[in-house]
Amino acid sequence: MRLRKARIQNFQSFSDTGDIEFAEGINLIIGQNNAGKSALLRALQPELPNDRHRTPERWETYLLPAPEVHLSISLSGYELRNWILQTGQIHFPVAPPHNDDVVAFMAGVFEMATVTFSVTRTAGQAFTAAYPSHGLFVGYPQQPVNARITPNNGELNVQPHYDNQDTVPGVIWLAWNNDLFSFTAERMMVGEGPVANATRLAPNASNLPSVLHTLSSERGDLFRKLVSHLREVFPTVGNVSIRTKAESPHIFEVRVWPTEAMERLELSFPLNSGGTGVAQVIALLTAIMTIDNAVIVIDEINSFLHPAAVKALLRIMQTEYQHHQYVISTHSSEVIGFSNPATIHLVKRSGYKSSIEKLDLGEVGKFREVAEHLGVSMADVFAAERVVWVEGPTEELCFPYIYQQSVGPLPRGTIITSVAATGDFNSNKRDPALVYEVYSRLSGAAATLVVSVVFSFDTEKLAEADKAEMIRRSRGLLNFLPRRHLECYLIDAPAIAAFIVNKDPGSAGLTVAAVEQALTDAAMQRPFLIPQWFGNLNDEAWLCHVDAANLISTVCGALSEHRVPFAKKDDTLFLLRYVLENDAAKLKPLCDYVASLVKLATN
């Protein structure tokens, strides 16, 4: 069974998603928290909640249309035949050219590699469909004929029936309820269950203990392979066993062992007492190892698994159980970068409404390849419409704060995020023009609605000619901070004094004058003495060229007897906040620069 398309209407944050296409392999649903990823996956479940789409204009239930989910589901002819055997008598619409030979028509259908059915799901109802539910012909023929198919001792009796009955949606409903498995980040309490002989996992994994017991006793090799996979995902898990509880002999209990040796029961622990992800992974492995051609839905896989465990599980799924179809929601760069997805859909939310957009896999493939090389966080730029790439994590933290304090909230869809290594843009080992193109494509691949991308780098020791050449190679995308680096705007004696006292209460007697003198003394000596120094801490020419980050660090160490180190990434924000709160005019050039970056990105 495969999910080919889904369209969600009037459900939770979705008014109408339009057709969402799915493919073989792994289908990723990505987006920020609360965008609507989980709602999308919830809409695929057999039990559709009557949770209607509401807006401030229309919120009363009686005024709202009921949720509907339209699905295109395909089965092989072989699967269809098997599900009809389990369903009972059905009526299958026959294409007009075959009215006279429905037996031959159905024989051909059962030989088909794929038959696709279009069905509709509403709250509290099974599948319904327009006539015919399959795609073998369209509309009502003048003389409708269906094949009345009746199971009989493992065979199917096919006879013509002259009306327009179509009960195939009932077959698809049975298949969907049995071959769709869903796993969420919520703790699964499936470590105990009634004693039974079960070979097929229930979609909610409620019979996991009995299935594992059957596997361990009747399919030992498969069970041992399952445990081996579990060790790959969780190195802290050594073994798994199933026993009847002594106090409740009608109950199976799954127990997990920290070592491969299973010496004493007391050294194991019940699955229901284990970590959140262990039960999910055991149930997931059981499903994919014992069911053929299932649809596996996993909501926020990164929420219940460590990044290394996510990669291990994805590796197992892709290398050994690729015959299933997977629909996985995530906002994790590890999942996006490691899953080799067949499709990626981006879910965005604006106010009360979520929308879904299919991303171009050619661009995303390039995006993933280069992001892995450069170390860029893919999760940072998904769902962005405008990207401002900045020097590093300090600017990534401080620039949004500067904009918020001086202008207001960042425009919706605009993010400020750091590049992996600015040296890539001015390196003899790489073509800088290519690197700019890479980052531009990263931005565009992450969200096809990207309007623009700009870059902001520190001036450092670059000559004006070098900066001009880099700007040329970037095709005008690159901007340089007017001063050497961010800390050049934060050589502020009151702020530095406040920082030292905050970190070291023993320095409470430190005066602003003492800090000014320490800054002046340091500026007059190597390695900080530069040609632009003329004894004035507020000289613009000097502030543009001084190594301010190291100067501030040296002064903090000297004044605190090295009890207060200054760490650029961690402590620049303290100085920035202090100056903005106490002498904002001093930072107007910096605020104007940050505002100009955002304006360039939004124009």
Residue 332, phi then psi, degrees to nearest 5: -95, 130
Which among 478, 479, 498, 481 has a CA at the least distance from the CA of 489? 481
Structure tokens at 569: 């990434």
How many percent of the chain have pLDDT more than 90? 52
Please determine, for residue 392, whether its predicted confidence score (pLDDT) is greater than 90.
Answer: no
Q: What amino acid occupies position 236?
A: T
d(CA 418, CA 458): 12
d(CA 413, CA 288): 38
The 10s digit of each residue's pLDDT in 4-36 is: 999 999 998 999 999 999 999 899 998 888 889
The 10s digit of each residue's pLDDT in 31-66 is: 888 889 999 999 999 888 898 998 888 888 888 899
Longest dimension (CA), the chain: 103
**More reliable by pLDDT, 169 or 363:** 169
Which among 602, 570, 598, 591 has a CA at the least distance from the CA of 456? 598
d(CA 521, CA 425): 35
pLDDT at 428: 44
| Helix %, strand %, coil % of the chain (to 5) | 45, 20, 35
pLDDT tier for residue 382 given thresholds of 50, 70 and 90: low
Rg (CA), the chain: 32
User: β-pairing, 180-183 with 414-418?
Assistant: unpaired
Which among 30, 38, 45 has a CA at the least distance from the CA of 14? 38
Q: Quick one: average pLDDT of 281-302? A: 92
Q: Quick one: average pLDDT of 243-251? A: 91
User: pTM of this prediction?
Assistant: 0.67
Q: Quick one: average pLDDT of 156-169? A: 92
Structure tokens at 231: 């060790």
Q: What amino acid occupies position 279?
A: A
The 10s digit of each residue's pLDDT in 549-596 is: 999 999 999 999 889 889 876 689 889 989 999 999 999 999 999 999
Q: Quick one: average pLDDT of 227-243? A: 90
pLDDT at 469: 86
Residue that is written with structure tokens 């320095």 in the block: 507
pLDDT at 282: 95
In sequence order, which residues have a C-beta less than 8 Å from that of residue 281 and are 6 or more positions away? 230, 233, 234, 305, 309, 313
Which among 375, 602, 600, 603 has a CA at the least distance from the CA of 477? 600
Sign of CA dihedral 567, 391, 460, 544: negative
pLDDT at 32: 81
pLDDT at 271: 93
* Segment (H or E) for 333: helix 333-338
Calculate the alpha carbon distances from 268 to 189, 264, 265 in Å. Answer: 17, 7, 6
pLDDT tier for residue 368 given thresholds of 50, 70 and 90: low
Structure tokens at 580: 């903005």
Listed range (127-131, 305-309, 332-336, 519-523) with the worst mean pLDDT? 332-336
d(CA 285, CA 222): 11
* Segment (H or E) for 204: none
The 10s digit of each residue's pLDDT in 474-501 is: 778 889 999 999 999 999 999 999 999 9
Q: Quick one: average pLDDT of 459-474? A: 87
d(CA 68, CA 81): 28
Query: What string of DSSP letters covers 360-396?
Result: PHHHHHHHHHHHHHHT--HHHHTT-SEEEEESSHHHH
Residues in the chain: 603
Average pLDDT, the chain: 86
Q: Is 320 helix (H, G, I), strand (E, B) or coil?
A: helix
d(CA 416, CA 386): 9
Structure tokens at 121: 């799901």
Contact 210, 198 (CB under 8 A): yes
Structure tokens at 15: 């008014």
Structure tokens at 483: 């001063």
The 10s digit of each residue's pLDDT in 521-549 is: 999 999 999 999 999 999 999 999 999 99
In sequence order, which residues have a C-beta less than 8 Å from that of residue 218 and are 6 or more positions away? none
Q: What amino acid occupies position 201?
A: L
d(CA 168, CA 81): 11
pLDDT tier for residue 429 given thresholds of 50, 70 and 90: very low
pLDDT at 342: 85
d(CA 416, CA 602): 12
The 10s digit of each residue's pLDDT in 320-361 is: 888 999 999 987 766 776 777 889 898 988 888 999 988 876
pLDDT tier for residue 448 given thresholds of 50, 70 and 90: very low
Which among 97, 109, 112, 99 has a CA at the least distance from the CA of 146? 99
Query: What string of DSSP letters covers 476-502?
Result: T-EEE-SSSSGGGG---HHHHHHHHHH
How many percent of the chain have pLDDT more than 70? 89
End-to-end CA distance of the chain: 47
